[in-house]
């Protein structure tokens, strides 16, 4: 049973309690199961839900995390303009995790559903981030996100590589 299987009712505290001490091997095994189930039944968590769970998980572990705010859909032209002027950019990774892992102090993570795809803006920003030697990755589903965060914390980050199309 994967983490995504248990959410008939969304109870963030209960979810964090269940994943607080989940081991890396369980996460690794759950990734493919979650992906298969998401593709088969179109039964997957939204990016919004994934981000809520991840931020609660990081808060529980007392790890500083900044959401990018670039994924928020705003109808007001005036507000969109103001956000751009304040530095909110299209394509910036959903989360910037600030925690020294023994080597790096920052990890950028783009969150996707198990069937999600990167936009051109997201690929561009990820390539620019990598060029600055900042570890960055893309996760597909909640299990993959938790796996990649924990690998970063173990000083073994899974770095995003652009696939040829």
Rounded CA separation 73/101 (Å): 33
Domain count, the chain: 1
**CATH number of 16's domain:** 3.40.1350.10
pLDDT digits (tens, 9 = 90+) for 31-84: 888 888 776 666 678 898 999 999 999 999 999 999 876 656 667 778 777 777
**Domain contains 130:** yes
Domain holding 61, by residue range, is 10-153
Cβ atoms of 117 and 123 closer than 8 Å: no
74 in a domain, yes or no? yes
pLDDT at 165 over 60: no
State the Cα–Cα distance between residues 85 and 12, nearest whole angstrom: 34
Residue 105 lies in a domain: yes
97 belongs to a structural domain: yes
Report whether 109 contacts 99 (CB < 8 A): no
- For 151-160, write each residue's pLDDT tens digit: 999 999 999 9
Q: What is the pLDDT of residue 1?
A: 45
- In a domain, residue 162? The reply is no
45 within some domain: yes
Question: Could you tell me if residue 4 is inside a domain?
Answer: no
pLDDT at 114 over 80: yes
Q: Tell whether 159 is covered by a domain.
A: no
**Sequence-ordered list of residues with C-beta below 8 angstroms from that of 30, at least 6 positions apart, any chain:** 2, 3, 143
């Amino acid at each position: 049973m994967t983490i995504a299987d248990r959410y008939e009712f969304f109870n963030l505290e209960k979810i964090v309690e269940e994943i607080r001490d989940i081991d890396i091997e369980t996460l690794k095994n759950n990734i493919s199961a979650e992906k298969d189930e998401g593709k088969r039944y179109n039964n997957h968590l939204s990016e919004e839900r994934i981000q809520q769970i991840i931020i609660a998980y990081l808060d529980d572990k007392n790890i500083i995390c900044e959401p990018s705010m670039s994924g928020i859909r705003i109808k007001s032209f005036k507000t969109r303009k103001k956000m751009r002027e304040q530095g909110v950019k299209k394509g910036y990774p959903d989360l910037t995790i600030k925690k020294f892992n023994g080597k790096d102090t920052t990890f950028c993570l783009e969150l996707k559903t198990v069937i999600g795809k990167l936009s051109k803006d997201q690929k561009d920003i990820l390539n620019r981030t990598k060029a600055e030697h900042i570890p960055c990755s893309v996760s597909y589903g909640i299990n993959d996100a938790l796996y990649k965060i924990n690998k970063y914390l173990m000083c073994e980050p899974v770095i995003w590589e652009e696939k040829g199309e």
